Amino acid sequence: MTRGAAGAAVLVLVLVPPLLTSNPFLLHLAITVLLWTLLGAAWNLLGGFAGQVSFGHSTFFGVGAYTTMILYLKGGLAPWYGMALGGIVAVLVSLPIGLICFRLRGPYFSLSTLAVAEIVRLVALNWEGLTNGPVGLLITTLPRVAWGGRILDWESKVPFYYMIATFALASMLATYRLSRARLGAYLLAIREDEDAAESVGIDTVRAKVLTLALSAFFTGLGGGFYGLYFRYVDPDAVFPIALSVEMVFIAVVGGLATVIGPVIGAVFLTTIGEMFREHFLVGHLIFYGLFMMLVIRYLPEGIWGGARRAWAKRP
Amino acid sequence: MPLLTVTDLTKDFGGLRAVSRLSFDAEPGEILGLIGPNGAGKTTVFNLVTGFLRPSAGRILLEGRSVVGLRPHAITRRGIARTFQVVKPFPRLSVLENVTLAAFSHEAARRRAEALAAQILERVGLQDKLGSLAADLTLGEQKRLEIARALATDPRLLLLDEPMGGLNPREVNAACALVEQIRADGVSVILVEHVMKAIMRISNRIVVIHHGEKIADGPPERVVNDPGVIAAYLGTRVV
């Protein structure tokens, strides 16, 4: 299959669902999957390629979400500009975090990202003048927008679907481009051995900070989308540790350092999460956790990584 | 002018002085042996010269320009490459990719970097292993891979940290020939090694350090007969 054909197939797959169904639940499910794909792919850039396991990506998600909300509610800036700015503010926030946390390696790096995320969550909770504290921020009406001569219907899920599909595709394209670029090769070297990477002339700090910035941009974009879609954010919704951990799970279950992995991780974890919630009113997270353990035990390269290996080994 | 000038180099780890006012030069086109008993500070000297450690005091000049305070990648780009005592390949990457990554330091185009890497791998005798994962190589092959990777950064000075440790006699001979070939290609070498026969054979000059201090500096035959060096290795009689 040529690259062009693959691209066309992906485009059709993404464009068609809203034409087939107007069932809001199915569209909501698709939007959820695409949002998680975006977040998983964003995390994968740093965690999968560079091997820098961040447990603090909710920081960038929350910063993106709050930026979008605050700019709209207090500054009247339309949320689509706000979403892009959410990504950019997440990048600005990522720079000092990277410069501090990347002094540490391995588990110490991971723990430092966890600590930073907790600090940011507490700031959001207590800086009431800016964030409204635990009460959160609520958008009651979205602005009227015409697109191709038609007024967009914000009560329908279709505009949101196309918006998040665009973002998710962009994150996958960025992953693909990175995997082909010199920076991507540098990141794999850093994942394998940081000292050896330095010894062959790779500026490891620069490579990691750049990648964190890219990763933060997409995560912040996802946060901005979340704010716009749910029209409500509070610190517990956009800054929890569980959100950071979910991004890790999606990338790991799907397949680290792959383009397709995050989609597969998002599909599996969203549908399985829903299924368990439906069947086991109590303790559904136990089964969810069990599923995670099985994947990590038997498919350490993730579902896509394992499938690719099996395909390469076929007789 | 010497290629590398080290003056009064000192490194303290807390209360321990690992390297103490050490001074030595490395001339262009020479193989300089750096020897000393275990714990003498040889690897620490390498880590100081390549920027993995910051000196407590002293100067390190490469062709007259200080490299103190530069990060390791910057020092590599200035022209000092190294290998590690305990090999550090990129285990889950191919042999070719290992060396290509190093060639990227001065060749941005992937195709040309790969061609350069393949050429260097042929020089170290790994041309049949291009597609293997580095983790699947034998120790001897991994040591040669590290030398190839260091050479791919196009250095003027190469620091080899025990490239012959753990090799069998045949592999040691091959490694000696390789190091001499590297010098012949115009790269100066500083060699830390415990395989005495090898270092005596290929070094132009030997610097001996003991407890972080230089105790001898001269041609191999003079250094091995130096009473101070013999004492450092074998100990002095108490009575």
Name the band, by pLDDT with cuts 50, 70 and 90, for residue A201.
very high
Q: With an 8 Å Cβ cutoff, is B54 touching chain A? A: no
- What is the model's pLDDT at position A140? 85
Each residue's pLDDT tens digit, A252-274:
999 999 999 999 999 988 888 88
Is the predicted pLDDT of residue A307 greater than 60, yes or no? yes
Nearest CA in chain B to A196: B88
- What is the model's pLDDT at position B94? 97
**Mean per-residue pLDDT of chain B:** 93
Q: Residue A147 gets which letter from DSSP?
A: E
* Average of per-residue pLDDT across A184-211: 96
Do residues B97 and B199 share a domain? no
CA distance B122 to B119: 5
Each residue's pLDDT tens digit, A172-189:
999 999 999 999 999 999
Each residue's pLDDT tens digit, A288-306:
788 888 888 888 888 888 8
Each residue's pLDDT tens digit, A74-87:
988 888 889 999 99
Contacts of A192 in chain B (CB under 8 A): 89-93
Give whole-number Cα distances, B110 to A185, A300, B94, B97, B121, in Å.
10, 30, 15, 10, 16
Do residues B159 and B70 share a domain? yes
- Domain end point (choices B108, B124, B152): B152
ipTM, two decimals, is: 0.92
- What is the model's pLDDT at position A188? 96
Q: With an 8 Å Cβ cutoff, is B80 touching chain A? A: no
- What is the model's pLDDT at position A12? 79
CA distance B112 to B117: 9
Among the partner residues B50, B100, B110, nearest to A199 by beta-carbon distance: B50
CA distance A186 to A203: 9
Contacts of B100 in chain A (CB under 8 A): 185
Phi, psi of B21 (to 5 degrees): 45, 50
Please list the residues that pair with A131 across neighbouring strands: none
Contacts of A204 in chain B (CB under 8 A): 73
Q: With an 8 Å Cβ cutoff, is B77 touching chain A? A: yes
Give the tokens for residue B89.
């390949």
Is the predicted pLDDT of residue A100 greater than 80, yes or no? yes
Domain membership of residue A180 as a residue range: 3-312
What is this structure's pTM? 0.91
Contact B76 A198 (CB under 8 A): yes
Question: Which residues of chain B fall short of a pLDDT of 70?
Answer: 236-239
Name the band, by pLDDT with cuts 50, 70 and 90, for residue A200.
very high
- What is the model's pLDDT at position B238? 57
Give the angle subtended at the CA of A140 by the CAs of A138 and A141, to the nearest 5°: 135
Contact B101 A186 (CB under 8 A): yes
What percent of chain A is modeled with pLDDT above 70? Answer: 99
CA-based nearest distance A76→chain B, Å = 46
CA-based nearest distance B238→chain A, Å = 44
CA distance A163 to A239: 22
Residues contacting residue A18 through CB under 8 Å, at least 6 positions apart: A27, A158, A161, A162
Nearest CA in chain A to B154: A200
Burial of A283 (0-12, 13-18, 19+ CB in 10 A): exposed
CA-based nearest distance A252→chain B, Å = 17
Contacts of A196 in chain B (CB under 8 A): 84, 88-90, 149
Do residues B121 and B7 share a domain? no
- What is the model's pLDDT at position A276? 80
Contact B91 A195 (CB under 8 A): no
Question: The domain spanning residue B75 has which CATH number?
Answer: 3.40.50.300
Name the band, by pLDDT with cuts 50, 70 and 90, for residue A13.
confident
More confident residue, A61 or A6: A61
Q: With an 8 Å Cβ cutoff, is B94 touching chain A? A: no
Q: With an 8 Å Cβ cutoff, is A94 touching chain B? A: no
Contact A192 B76 (CB under 8 A): no
CA distance A248 to A295: 13
CA distance A210 to A203: 11
C-beta atoms surrounding B237 within 10 Å: 6
Q: With an 8 Å Cβ cutoff, is B110 touching chain A? A: yes
Nearest CA in chain B to A186: B101
Do residues B32 and B142 share a domain? no
- Domain end point (choices B117, B152, B187): B152
Contact B71 A182 (CB under 8 A): no
Number of domains in chain B: 2
More confident residue, A16 or A110: A110
For chain A, how many residues are written? 315
Q: With an 8 Å Cβ cutoff, is A205 touching chain B? A: yes
Number of domains in chain A: 1
Domain membership of residue B95 as a residue range: 88-152
Residues contacting residue B156 through CB under 8 Å, at least 6 positions apart: B3, B28, B62, B63, B79, B80, B186, B187, B188
Do residues B72 and B159 share a domain? yes
Q: Residue B22 gets which letter from DSSP?
A: E
Each residue's pLDDT tens digit, A238-252:
999 989 999 999 999
Is the predicted pLDDT of residue A7 greater than 80, yes or no? no
CA distance A203 to A219: 24
- What is the model's pLDDT at position B62? 97
Residues contacting residue A218 through CB under 8 Å, at least 6 positions apart: A38, A39, A41, A42, A45, A87, A167, A170, A171, A174
Do residues B57 and B161 share a domain? yes
Do residues B75 and B116 share a domain? no
**Mean per-residue pLDDT of chain A:** 90
Among the partner residues A182, A196, A197, nearest to B108 by beta-carbon distance: A182
- Give me the long-range contacts of B194-198 (CB less than 8 A, separation at least 24): B194/B35, B194/B162, B194/B165, B195/B164, B195/B165, B195/B167, B196/B35, B197/B172, B198/B164, B198/B172
Do residues B223 and B122 share a domain? no
Nearest CA in chain B to A181: B110
- Domain end point (choices B99, B128, B152): B152
